[in-house]
């Protein structure tokens, strides 16, 4: 394939490789969650550990564990 497309990974493969690492999850509502990626399923539902919730860039709450429904996710970024 051209333009390096043969080196690209599908999103589920990438996410399964970064389980246990810090991630940033931004929701469609602009709320941001930062924590350790615990698991992800085929619907892109995400489980996070040691999670912090940021609203308008400010820390709002800290959670031990958090579950984010996949249809609310705008993007997931490895930190």
Residue range 3-52, pLDDT digits in tens: 444 455 677 788 888 999 999 999 999 999 999 999 998 888 999 999 99
Q: Are strands 58-68 and 73-78 parallel, antiparallel or unpaired?
A: unpaired
pTM over cut 0.85: no
Contact 59, 41 (CB under 8 A): no
- Using alpha carbons only, give the angle 68, 43, 32 rounded to the nearest 5 degrees: 30
Residue 4: the pLDDT is 43
Nearest partner of 21 among 36, 38, 34, judged by Cα: 36
Residue 51: the pLDDT is 97
């Amino acid at each position: 394939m051209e333009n390096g497309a043969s080196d690209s990974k599908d999103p589920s493969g990438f996410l399964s490789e970064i389980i246990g690492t810090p991630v940033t999850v931004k929701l469609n509502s602009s709320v941001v969650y930062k924590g350790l990626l615990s698991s992800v399923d085929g619907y892109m539902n995400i489980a996070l550990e040691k999670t912090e919730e940021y609203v308008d860039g400010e820390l709002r709450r800290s959670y031990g564990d958090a579950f984010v429904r996949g249809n609310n996710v705008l993007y997931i970024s490895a930190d």
